[in-house]
A and B are shown apart, each in its own frame.
Chain A
Amino acid sequence: MLQLKILDIKASDKRLKNRDARLKIDMQPLKKEIMPCGSIVIDLKYPDDTYTGMDKAESSGMGTGIISIFENEIKKIQDEIDKHDSGGYENVAVIAEPYSGIEHIFDKILGDNSQKINNIKLFSPVTDTDFFSNLYAGKKIALMHNCQYLYTRKCGGFEILDHFMNLVSSEDRLFITGWNKFAWNYLKEISNIEDLFEVRITIPKLDSKSIMNLIMADAKGRISFIDDRPANGDKFISVEKCQVRLPFLHTEKSVCKLKFNPEALKGKKSKTKEEIETEAFQKITNLAGGKYDIARIIWKNTMKDNELRLSKIPAVPTADISNFDEAYILSIIISMDTVGYEGLLEIAGSNINLKQKLQSLKFSGLIEISDNLCRVNPEAVNSVIYELRKRRLVW
């Protein structure tokens, strides 16, 4: 059984000028006889293969594992939905770095509250306030994905955001919004957006154990882990990242700790399957920076014939960005998750030779460009974030 909701968008609509406008009908299968009806996909430009977390095929095969990992985050959102009926709610902002798995949380929320929620996905910058006329579709709760598309970092690019913020402050409806972390951090410094979204949920990074459990739960068949690295692959001292809750802070922070391996001094010894498996996922987690969706991509790329060789897991890349303009372009791309060439050109302005810079970034392996859409290469996301934070181009 399928329910359809058609959003009437005419190609002649003013806001669709110069855009590859098309109507999309969001069809979602029933899950336990409950249908997330009323879902609207407002897609002004991008085709289905635009990154929205994971491939549909992949995400459909996901078990409840990822949901249990994000149990606290989901509970916080659900609490606000439950409170909304009694009128004591607060708007929610879910803040995540790219590939952190925000879509899994929203899918779960939508599945559990399909009758109450109107689902809105943004795939490109919104350019007209007419967009807000179809925001609710008769529902009292709006679930908005990719809210970083509500502004453009250019002079005159905040009109839509201002309109949205006025709407949020004046309407008696609950807004559950998803934001790119870097876009959010920028907006909170230049506007009073934090006042409007008093419940702010930051998606945490996962540790290697969680990632291992999640990936292995979905793995099909028997997986062999092979340590085929040279003998000096084991290090006596290595740096590991772990999540700790520091005093007076409500969120977990990622801290580095030294790990000593006395066995490395004795030379190579045969390892048990569990040790190799743990080490493989430790490497994958380091490379993925604790982001589940990146870990899955690395897993997928590394596995061959149900065999995972440790030597095939790539080392953490270094993002060597010497040019300031290239770094700035990267900061815009990573703040928007995915951005089209035209949109990027509007932000970069005429002073930057955008084509050259994008080619240079592409050759460095830092970004991917397909169908005129740019996004940061998943395997390079963490090193790009590290480099941009060091330059304070993202906050």
Chain B
Amino acid sequence: MATEIDALIEAIRFDIDTALYIIYIIILAYIAIHLVSFLIRKIGETAGFMRIAANMIIPLFKIAVYFIATYLIVTSVFTPSLSQLVAFSGLFGAALGFGLKDVFSDIVGGIVIAFERPYLIGDKIKIGDKYGEVTDIGLRATRIKTPDDTLVSIPNFSIFNQSASSANAGKTEMMVVTDLFIDSRSDIEKAAGILRECLITSKYIYISSSNRYTVLVDDFPFYRRLRAKAYVNDLRDEFEFKSDITRRTWTEFDKNGIISPAFSGIVIGDGPGFADR
């Protein structure tokens, strides 16, 4: 084994030309990745509801470029024989054991994400306690933008030990659940009808044969819950959609005497029905 390692070290040729060649490859790979990612994102933004599908290519392209660049760099330094390759694997394994384990796990995680696609660039995902839109899937980490505009890097290895949930699964539309709570004595039929109409007339809604909407009513000891489930046209408008439904529904509730729940004689809200109680 020691002889093989010696032979491997002897086979390594490293001069100034090789160094320049490696730098050249790294720069080229960097430019290619960033340029192509930028172009795909730009084209994706103009593709409307096909935006996320267009972005799907980015991680695959990145992995392909990384592998080609690595291959070119390795073969520029030495051309290993089979026995040298075995020796190199041994060294590589030792390196992993000493400190590169996490990096390697992240890279494997990145490859799994690129090919298995549990989520895509543009998806709204939740990993652990982090929720946001995926802005980039790198070889080592996935970056997500949270609703309050914070960029969070999540190591790709996380997909092996944490559940990753994607709210839209590669599509631009996404289900949004909006809850409204009303007083038990309010007219529930009227309230559900108002919520339904506010839902279907929202400018953000998307309805199709496979993307239905529903209004559910649930009764609790001190109040009733109205739950609207519908798809927002573009997941980026998730919170605007929710706000639009809530705002317009409560405006109509106020006009129709439907009031907020009361707790221990205290009425929350000040709808027209308040004075009648």
Chains A and B come from one and the same complex = yes
What distance in Å separates the Cβ of B244 from its nearest Cβ neighbour in chain A? 8
Query: For B206, what are the chain A residues with a Cβ–Cβ distance below 8 Å?
Result: 392
Max chain B C-beta neighbours (<10 A), residue from A158, A189, A325, A328: A189
Checking B198, B207, B233, B249 against A190 with a beta-carbon cut-off of 8 angstroms, the contacting residue is B207
Separation of A86 and B252 alpha carbons in the complex (Å) = 47
Whether A153 is near chain B, meaning CB under 8 Å from some CB there, is yes
Query: Nearest chain A CB to B188's CB is how many angstroms away?
Result: 17
Least Cβ distance of B248 to chain A in Å?
Answer: 6
Q: Which residue of B lies closest to A320 (CB)?
A: B46
Q: Tell whether B6 is near chain A: CB-to-CB under 8 Å.
A: no
B49 within 8 Å of A (CB atoms): yes
- A230 near B: Cβ within 8 Å? no
A390 at interface (Cβ–Cβ under 8 A)? yes
Instruction: Please determine whether B48 and A392 come into contact, CB atoms closer than 8 angstroms.
Output: yes
What are 24 sample pairs from A and B whose C-beta atoms fall under 8 A apart? A153-B201, A155-B194, A155-B197, A155-B249, A156-B252, A158-B197, A189-B207, A189-B209, A190-B207, A324-B203, A324-B237, A328-B203, A347-B201, A349-B248, A390-B47, A390-B49, A391-B48, A391-B49, A391-B233, A391-B234, A392-B173, A392-B233, A393-B233, A395-B208
- Nearest chain A residue, comparing its CB with the CB of B209: A189
CB-CB under 8 A from B48, the residues of chain A are 389-392
- Chain A residue with the shortest CB-CB distance to B172: A392
Residue numbers in A under 8 Å from B248 (CB-CB): 155, 349
Assess whether A157 is interfacial by the CB under 8 Å rule: yes
* Chain A residues in 8 Å Cβ range of B69: none
Residues of A within 8 A of B49 (CB): 390-392
Count the B residues whose beta carbon is within 8 Å of the partner chain — how many?
Answer: 21
Q: CB within 8 A of B201: which of A157, A324, A325, A395?
A: A157
A: interface residue count bin: 20 to 34
Contact with A along B19-61 (1 / 0, CB 8 A): 0000000000000000000000000000111000000000000
Whether B200 sits at the interface, judged by CB under 8 Å, is yes
> Which residues of B have CB within 8 Å of A391?
48-49, 233-234
Q: Beta-carbon contacts of B165-184 to A below 8 Å, as 1s and 0s?
A: 00000001100000000000
Q: Is A154 an interface residue (CB 8 A)?
A: yes
Given contacts A324-B203, A390-B49, 5 further A-B contacts (CB under 8 A): A155-B194, A324-B237, A391-B233, A392-B172, A393-B233
Complex alpha-carbon distance, A227 and B249, angstroms: 59
CA distance in complex: A347, B49 (Å): 24
- Bound complex: CA A196 to CA B173 (Å): 30
Check A155–B198 contact: CB distance below 8 A: yes
State the CA gap A392–B234 with chains docked (Å). Answer: 9
Known A190-B207, A349-B248: A155·B233 in contact at CB below 8 Å: no
Least Cβ–Cβ distance between A4 and chain B, in angstroms: 40
CA distance A155 to B201 in the complex (A): 7
List the A side residues contacting B200 at CB < 8 Å.
190
Contact (Cβ within 8 A) B208 A155: no
Of all A-B residue pairs in the complex, the 10 with the closest CB atoms, nearest first, are A390-B48, A189-B207, A155-B197, A328-B203, A190-B200, A155-B198, A153-B201, A391-B48, A155-B252, A392-B49
> What separation, in Å, do the CA atoms of A325 and B206 have in the docked complex?
15
